[in-house]
Amino acid sequence: MAPSGPGSSARRRCRRVLYWIPVVFISLLLGWSYYAYAIQLCIVSMENTGEQVVCLMAYHLLFAMFVWSYWKTIFTLPMNPSKEFHLSYSEKELLEREPRGEAHQEVLRRAAKDLPIYTRTMSGAIRYCDRCQLIKPDRCHHCSVCDKCILKMDHHCPWVNNCVGFSNYKFFLLFLAYSLLYCLFIAATDLQYFIKFWTNGLPDTQAKFHIMFLFFAAAMFSVSLSSLFGYHCWLVSKNKSTLEAFRSPVFRHGTDKNGFSLGFSKNMRQVFGDEKKYWLLPIFSSLGDGCSFPTCLVNQDPEQPSTPAGLNSTAKNPENHQFPAKPLRESQSHLLTDSQSWTESSTNAGKCKTGMSNPALTMENET
């Protein structure tokens, strides 16, 4: 650990303030858009009362869902690994005495023998965080900004000044969805007045400039948000995080880019939950505890052509795919044992085995 003093403490406080600048920018932009649309466009510029009522009702619904999901994404604390993943005092002493190498790994292997971890480093070693002094659960990564290990970390987003991970990934997706709908709705209903601006069909008031800039901002953000939202929809369909899309997870049998994919329907349920009435609401409904995840051990990518060469790596040594059988908590295991008829891709129909149950997780405490 780096030594802490008055200077480093002041720098940390300054960084924390600077990290909020993107959030303040989005908040100010959102506040201006409310004034420009609700007041200047709907109340001042629209002459048809029916059009005013319909636009204001639809606008406020989208505005409320946008703000609610954005708030939840910002202020939902990331989940950290539970105490069972932290090394004991004696294990920490052993690690300090042992040099880096096989002896060091042997200490970690003994500490991890009863933990539901199946992923490894690129060299096949146990994933260990020196900073947090814990064995990383599957899909857990250390965030350099938060300086903590985050369960199922996707990325650290400066626009929400928070880590996007297991506890708030659903909220982040809904934030992208509602912000995109918000911008598309504004651009669509503002278009006719934007055209009138260029054809001198609007009265010469300050409203005309709000209408012009509102359309430009909505159209510009719609383009960027549509690509980002589409990318994350693809990640959900494949049961990947942003980090896993750039670097495939490594299992004991080797790298498997679809190692956590259970098929489209079950991948969706893992993020949004079983109860569809909560899917469109920023209410936590994701399955599991964030420490262990079902894995599909025989899992080809349906986007890749099925060739004998592509099958060799998994077909030659099927015994290498056998993970120790450990029970998984009920909220996740029923993904694999559900008796309902699921229509899944034939490429995701391999045997699935899972990790063991974990106790309740500790939430990150802000200081």
Active-site residues, by number, are 157
Q: Which of these, 39, 22, 5, 13, lies nearest to 211 by C-alpha position?
A: 39
Helix and strand counts by DSSP (H, E) for the chain: 11, 13
Residue matched to tokens 């991948």: 267
Please answer whether residues 164 and 154 qualify as being in contact, where contact means their C-beta atoms are separated by less than 8 angstroms. Answer: yes
Please answer whether residues 166 and 146 qualify as being in contact, where contact means their C-beta atoms are separated by less than 8 angstroms. Answer: no
In angstroms, the CA 11 to CA 7 distance is 6
Residue matched to tokens 């920490």: 92
In angstroms, the CA 169 to CA 76 distance is 10
Q: Which of these, 347, 341, 321, 323, lies nearest to 262 by C-alpha position?
A: 347
In angstroms, the CA 350 to CA 300 distance is 9
For 310, the token pair is: 């592509």
Determine the residue type at 125: A
Q: Which residues does 12 contact at the CB level (< 8 Å), separation at least 6?
A: none
Please answer whether residues 65 and 178 qualify as being in contact, where contact means their C-beta atoms are separated by less than 8 angstroms. Answer: yes
- The residues pairing with 70 across neighbouring beta strands, listed in sequence order, are none
Cα dist from 56 to 29, 41, 63, 153, 272, whole Å: 19, 10, 10, 38, 29
Residue matched to tokens 């909560």: 278
Q: Report CA 318 to chain centroid distance, whole Å.
A: 32
